[in-house]
Amino acid sequence: MIDKSKILDLVNQRIVETDIFVVDISVSASNAIRVTIDADSGVSIEKCIDISRQVEHNLDREAEDFALEVTSFGLDQSFKMLRQYNKNIGRDVKVFLNDGKIVKGTLIKVSEDFIRLEKILTKKEIKENVDEILDLDLASIKETKLEISFK
């Protein structure tokens, strides 16, 4: 099986001095390699192709056969790292808490320990003129996703 750290080293060689970062790398028992990347400025197909070529040209198919997929972080996926929270300050998110509650709000601040949301108000709360700022400990968060709106 191909070592994940070797894949990470190859990817890091290509993304040094860019705003691209690795979100996840997985290697299955059958050597199906999946590299998920993100970038502060967004990920283009060209960036994925460039990284794919870097990895593919530096692995020996004669030694170990493999399948390779380099993909960008999807809008429907959960954040996996603090940098993704920072990248999305000012955007609406849906936060699933460990206690089962769901909070929707605009991400306004990120620290090492918590995130701050300006809660998205329901129609009832708007009538009551409620404005709520919430600080959520990262340890209390099960997952966070972008809230996609087609308004």
| Domains of the chain, earliest start first | 4-72 (3.30.300.20), 82-146 (2.30.30.100)
pLDDT category of residue 37 using cuts at 50, 70 and 90: very high
Buried b (16+ CB within 10 A) or exposed e, 97-116: eeeeeebebbbeebeeebbb
Instruction: Report how far residue 109's alpha carbon sits from residue 20's, in angstroms, rounded to the nearest whole number.
Output: 21
Question: What confidence tens digit (pLDDT) does each residue in 97-129 have?
Answer: 999 999 999 999 999 999 999 987 666 666 665
Contact 90, 115 (CB under 8 A): no
Q: Which of 9-18, 36-45, 111-120, 126-135 has the lowest mean pLDDT?
A: 126-135
pTM for the complete prediction? 0.81
Q: How far apart are CA 115 and CA 93, in angstroms?
A: 11
